[in-house]
Amino acid sequence: MKQSGFFDVEERLARLSGLGDQLEAFSRTVDFEAFRPDLDKTLAYSDGSKGGRPPFDPVLMFKILVIQTLNNLSDERTEYLINDRLSFMRFLGLGLSDRVPDAKTVWLFRERLTQAGAIDGLFNRFDATLRNAGYLPMSGQILDATLVAAPKQRNTNAEKADLRAGRIPEDWQDKPAKLSHKDRHARWTLKFTKAKRQDDGTMPSSDLAIPFFGYKSHVSI
């Protein structure tokens, strides 16, 4: 393995640009320095006269939040990937020898903006800048559903009609023990499943629809 040099890094970054580095496009589109006055006003860092390690540049930290939001990263994963990815380093203006904020520093910065009620305004402004430049900032959504089985009730047709109408069957009202064992909210539905290949190698013309009694649970992220 040959020893790496400065021009090797430059060549790799040039290749990333050729492949389409989204963060590089953002750097050309968004004037991040325009966010500095609002960040400085919100954070109100001291002038350093009392000593201690100086805080990271607020614009650098805001750009880290942009990376984190675009890639849906945890604080720990953000710290790791900034150290690992050349594209992240270039976007942040960091060199290989520069100090990188750790996960706790990222959390504290985001928490400070959140408590000040400033983070939504900053990102709305960032999104507006992208929209004005022709980009469409979007978030993703995951929607999933699962069926939860309920014991079959073996109700009569009259009892089923009462339940569909939202009524308690008259025969149940004087029998609390029986009522407690009856599920009045579960319903029948169809559970669709992919048809399996037959022994002769052919596929059925339609998928399977299996009657299912219970509940449908939805999760949206």
**Secondary structure (DSSP) of 97-154:** TS----HHHHHHHHHHHHHTT-HHHHHHHHHHHHHHTT--------EEEEEEE-----
User: How confident is the model at residue 168, as a pLDDT?
Assistant: 86
Q: How far apart are the first and last CA of the chain?
A: 45
Q: How far apart are CA 184 and CA 93, in angstroms?
A: 62
What pLDDT was estimated at residue 47? 54
**pLDDT value at residue 48:** 52
pLDDT in tens, 132-157: 877 765 555 566 778 788 777 788 88
One-letter identity of residue 19: L
pLDDT for 156 equals 85
> Each residue's pLDDT tens digit in the chain (221 positions)?
455 555 677 888 788 788 778 888 888 888 999 999 999 999 886 555 555 567 899 999 999 999 998 888 999 999 999 999 889 999 999 988 899 999 999 999 999 999 999 999 999 999 888 888 777 655 555 667 787 887 777 888 888 888 888 888 887 888 888 777 787 777 778 777 777 777 777 777 666 777 777 787 777 66
- Count CB atoms within 10 A of the CB of residue 193: 9
Would you state the pLDDT for residue 65?
Answer: 95
Q: What is the pLDDT of residue 176?
A: 82
Please state, in angstroms and rounded to a whole number, the distance separating the CA atoms of residues 90 and 64: 12
C-alpha pair distances (Å), 26 with each of 69, 109, 127, 129: 14, 21, 11, 10
- What is the per-residue pLDDT across 59-74, written as a single tens digit (0 to 9) for each? 999 999 999 988 889 9
- Looking at residue 221, its pLDDT comes to 61
Cβ neighbours of residue 51 closer than 8 Å, sequence gap 6 or more: none
Structure tokens at 184: 């009045």
pLDDT of res. 111: 94
